[in-house]
Structure 1
């Protein structure tokens, strides 16, 4: 699972680079960008679910991570517009890696069953999604910061939950396990980068 998780980062980086280089995603603004993102993401996740017991599932998963990198490119491009953009991206990457390390350590230490967290985290994620959709149309910077902070907290907790499920044998399919961890990492990184961009971005 962890090797496959590491492998998913390659298409993500390539997708983000491709998106920044071509400006493909930058043209998808507001509601259109949201529709493309949600439509593409759910289509890929449906395909992954259908192919998770075969080698095809790995290819679909890697295709999904390229798509997610592509969708991330708009934010990456915005952050790279700051004079300290590269530093912010590396900080977000380091912060995400730190969160993963802490949660992985906790997952092996905590003996308590965390399966009850699932329903609360799901509700939190849905509230977050609704808030994000509303904020796309409102365009509030303060709202975006609040959503980013909440997303970091929720998906860090989700990371602990998913890692604990893997450790305890609650999730035995390596493709499904990788997908869940990837989404946790992606959301933490994206939210952290957004927060850093808003709070720490410097113009020349």
Structure 2
């Protein structure tokens, strides 16, 4: 008979990996639009452009690693949505619209909007880095060698995902984070950790994805 601890651990990792797979996919697909904006606003800053292109590549790499984790288990991820996305909720809180509705041309045309977007990405990635550090100390994550290795890779890549935005804001002499943005980041994180993740863990009726999020992508 399978022990309660084994069942708990399997469900925990299933939920955790499903949420991360969603967020990594959301991350790299959204960064395509950020790269477009940066190329227009900062054409004379190839280092900044290259850093964001690397960020996009890393997010895609992380997505593939979580996808492979599920493939090796022979199951699809749980069908989570934008309510489990930190960046989704942060963008809505700050800009008042979803990522898909965010006006890329408007962000390009407005220095304030562009700087706000850089701060949101920076804070999201800093939050992600701290969360990965916590997860690498989690006994359930450490019990799964493949999962532990994935998060070790994510931890190594993470500084490159927020430092370029912070450095750019410094060069522009801009505020790196406003208190309202830090407060929003804090409460989004808490609601995800204390409400969304536990409810997803307990709700056994959540279906699994019928197709991979990157199906049809080039």
Query: TM-score with structure 2 length normalisation?
Result: 0.35
Instruction: Name the one with the larger helix percent.
Output: 1
**TM-score, with normalisation over the residues of structure 1?**
0.37
Structure whose CA Rg is larger: 2
